C-alpha cells in the first residue's frame, strides 16, 4: 500500500510525508516514511525554498532595527567572503504574546552554517538551525545540541519556509523562528540567550530519514550573550538593573561622549 500523510505545523506551513506500509486484514501496519518534504507553504508554491535567488545579506539596520552578531567584529558579508554573520529582528504577536525571530545568516562553509541559541553555551542544550546543501538539495534543519558532549539530535522546530542561496562555499539563508519563547527564557526586558555561530561538514556515509547526509559536530566560531529583542543586544540584569554591555554599546556611549565634548568646546 502506498500512502501520503501531512502534518500541520503552523498556519499554512506543513510537512508532506510520502511513505508506504502493509495492511493485515482490517489492521493498518506501521507507516514507513520514504520522503519528508520538510516545511512547505501549501497555499503558495512560490514561497517555498528557492536556491536561485541572491539574498544579498548586509549590515543594513545593524544596531538600529536589527541585532547583528558577527565574526570578525563589524565584518560585512556583502564584501567579505569570510564574514560569519547573523542579522535578526524580533516581533511580538499581539494575540498570543509570542516572540517570532526573523534570522538572516551568511557564512562560509564546506558543509553547513548554523545559528545556535542557548541559555549557557558550556552546559545544558542548544537549539541549532543549520543551513546547507547536500545531494538532496538545499536544506534548513533543526537540532538540539548537548553542549557538553557536542552530540546533535534532530528535532522538528517550527520555522517558516526558508530562502536559501549558495554560491561556492558561501551560504545565505533567511527564515523566521516561530514562538521564540519556547527556545529561550522570557525575561522582563526581552529574551536573553547565548547566540552561537558555527559551521561544519556533512557525513556523506550516513543518511537519515530525509535521505540526506547527517551533520558532523558543530565547529563553534563565535558565542555571545545578548538580548534578542534589542537591536544592540544589551542585557539588563533583572537583579540590579545593571547593563551588561556589548562592544557595540560601548562604542555608542563613546561616540555620544565625543559628540557632547565637541558641542561643549564649540
Q: Which of 127, 128, 233 is nearest to 190 (CA)?
A: 233
Are residues 110 and 179 located together in one domain of the fold?
A: yes
Q: Does 261 fall in a domain? A: no
Quick check: 213 pLDDT over 50? Answer: yes
Please indicate, yes or no, if residue 53 is contained in any of the structural domains. Answer: no
> What does the pLDDT look like over 84-109, one tens digit per residue?
999 999 987 777 777 889 999 999 99
Model confidence pTM above 0.75? no
Inside any domain, residue 264: no
Q: What are phi and psi of 252, to 5 degrees?
A: -60, -40
Residue 252 belongs to some domain of the structure: no
Q: Which domain holds residue 36?
A: 2-47
Is residue 32 assigned to a domain?
yes
pLDDT digits (tens, 9 = 90+) for 219-232: 999 999 999 989 99
Query: Are residues 13 and 136 part of one domain?
Result: no
Q: Looking at the domain assignment, is residue 254 inside a domain?
A: no
Dist. CA 206–CA 208, nearest whole Å? 7
Give the count of domains, the chain.
2
Which ranges in the chain belong to alpha helices (H)?
Answer: 247-265
- Please report whether residue 238 resides in a domain: yes
Answer yes or no: is 101 within a domain: yes
Cα 80 from Cα 131, distance rounded (Å) = 19
Amino acid at each position: 500500500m502506498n500512502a501520503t500523510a501531512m502534518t500541520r505545523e503552523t498556519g499554512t506551513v506543513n510537512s508532506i510525508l510520502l511513505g508506504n506500509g502493509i495492511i493485515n486484514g482490517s489492521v493498518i501496519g506501521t507507516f514507513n516514511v520514504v520522503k519528508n518534504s520538510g516545511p512547505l507553504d501549501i497555499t503558495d508554491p512560490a514561497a517555498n525554498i528557492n536556491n536561485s535567488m541572491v539574498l544579498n545579506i548586509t549590515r543594513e539596520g545593524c544596531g538600529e532595527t536589527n541585532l547583528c552578531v558577527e565574526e570578525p567584529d563589524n565584518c560585512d558579508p556583502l564584501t567579505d567572503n569570510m564574514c560569519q554573520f547573523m542579522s535578526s529582528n524580533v516581533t511580538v504577536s499581539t494575540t498570543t504574546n509570542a516572540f517570532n525571530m526573523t534570522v538572516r545568516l551568511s557564512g562560509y562553509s564546506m558543509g553547513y552554517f548554523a545559528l545556535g541559541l542557548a541559555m549557557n553555551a558550556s552546559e545544558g542544550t542548544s537549539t541549532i538551525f543549520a543551513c546547507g546543501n547536500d545531494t538532496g538539495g538545499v536544506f534548513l534543519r533543526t537540532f538540539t545540541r548537548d553542549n557538553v558532549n557536542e552530540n546533535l539530535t534532530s528535532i522538528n522546530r517550527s520555522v517558516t519556509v526558508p530562502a536559501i542561496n549558495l554560491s561556492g562555499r558561501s551560504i545565505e539563508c533567511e527564515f523566521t523562528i516561530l514562538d521564540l519563547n519556547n527556545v529561550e527564557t522570557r525575561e522582563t526586558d526581552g529574551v536573553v540567550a547565548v547566540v552561537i555561530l558555527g559551521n561544519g561538514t556533512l557525513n556523506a556515509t550516513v543518511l537519515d530519514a530525509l535521505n540526506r547526509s547527517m551533520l558532523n559536530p558543530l565547529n563553534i566560531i563565535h558565542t555571545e550573550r545578548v538580548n534578542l529583542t534589542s537591536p544592540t543586544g544589551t542585557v539588563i540584569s533583572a537583579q540590579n538593573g545593571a547593563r551588561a554591555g556589548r562592544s557595540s554599546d560601548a562604542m555608542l556611549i563613546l561616540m555620544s561622549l565625543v559628540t557632547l565634548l565637541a558641542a561643549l568646546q564649540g
